[in-house]
Amino acid sequence: MVVARTSVAVLNRTSGGLLLTLVTVLALGGVLLAGPGAQAASGPSGVTIYDSTVSPLPANLPSVGFLASQASEFGDKVTFAGTARSLTDVTVTLSTHGCQSGQGNLPNCSTTPGATFSFPITFTIYGAPAGDAVGPVLAQVTQTFAIPYRPSADPVNCTGADVGKWFDAASATCNDGEAVNITFDFSSLNVTLPNTVIWGIAFNTTTWGYHPVGPSACSVSATGCPYDSLNVAVSGAASTGTDVDPNGVYWNSFTPGQYCDNGLGGTNTFRLDTPCWTGQVPAVRFGAQSPGVTTTAPAPTAVVITPNFTG
């Protein structure tokens, strides 16, 4: 069944190599669509069946910038642990680099603590047929999240090569971005997962994405648009479940040089990219429960869910 509801470091690909830079439900033809409206978004609630996130969450993690990489979607092929397969939630770690005012690489980067921007992000689960092909869409959710801006620059603790960065006292480190977790709520969609899937996270930037945002007030400002400085974090390895190809990811970039094969396998298409991603595993956690088991979700926060993703 298809179910749909509706720069630390930036990793870029250059000539096949890795460049590290700072920078009411409706049923339609068998497809379930959850209509628009305020829904509950919460933290993880199901049993962990796959996990490549880092816990406790550090100040920041290496990450892939969609704008910097001319990307539309980024994900992986994973095999789940255990037997629970009724999907409840998916958590993805992002790295947010945008300042509320000023610029992230300058001392004028300033953010009021707790300040956020609203932004829609889509998570899609695909079938995984034999080989490396991307199968049909099994489930898809778009939620609008309140994404934090990164903290203000610290001119006392972060100077010299670290100018413009924010200081994390717990780790005593200066950071370009801040790691944040977002959780997609699949609990009402009755999705039963196969053992292996391909997943992708997608969002738009000013110039890239399946539907680029295009010019706007923020895109011509000195500060820029915060979604242009929003990245997807990567970790070292999966701690639960299996990353099917630990040397590869699935993603869609417009630029041939962003791929390990310099685009020989195609560009502008969501596909396997290997083997130049060793040690860079997209950070995601899948939660599920066994059929008939009910979990109590944590206190909700408001999000808007709209069935408007195409790709």
Residue 13 has pLDDT above 80, yes or no: no
Beta carbons within 10 angstroms of residue 105's beta carbon:
17
User: What does the domain layout of the chain look like in residue ranges?
Assistant: 2-305
Task: Kindly state the average pLDDT of the residues 32-60.
Answer: 70
Return d(Cα 166, Cα 110) in angstroms, integer.
Answer: 10
Task: Kindly state the average pLDDT of the residues 62-72.
Answer: 98
Specify the pairing of strand 38-41 against strand 281-282.
unpaired
Task: Kindly state the average pLDDT of the residues 88-114.
Answer: 97
Q: Which residues contact 148 (CB under 8 A, 6 or more apart)?
A: 96, 114, 115, 116, 178, 180
The tokens 């699949």 sit on which residue? 186
Tens-digit pLDDT profile for residues 268-302: 999 999 999 999 999 999 999 997 655 444 443 33
Task: Kindly state the average pLDDT of the residues 163-180.
Answer: 98
Q: What is the pLDDT of residue 293?
A: 56
Q: What is the DSSP letter of 227?
A: G
CA separation (Å) from 109 to 3, 62, 96, 100? 41, 20, 13, 7
Whether 208 and 267 have beta carbons less than 8 Å apart is answered as no
Whether 208 and 254 have beta carbons less than 8 Å apart is answered as yes
3 state DSSP class of 229:
helix
Q: Nearest Cα to 270, choosing from 10, 72, 65?
A: 72
Whether 50 and 285 have beta carbons less than 8 Å apart is answered as yes
CA 7 to chain centre: 14
Phi then psi dihedrals of residue 305, to 5 deg: -115, 125
Q: Which two tokens stand for residue 167?
A: 């200081």
CA separation (Å) from 159 to 31, 122, 183, 230? 54, 37, 34, 24
Span of 16-30, 178-192, 282-296 with lowest mean pLDDT:
16-30
Q: Which two tokens stand for residue 266?
A: 């195609």
Q: Nearest Cα to 256, choosing from 65, 16, 67, 73?
A: 16
Q: Nearest Cα to 226, choosing from 235, 243, 213?
A: 213
3 state DSSP class of 226:
helix
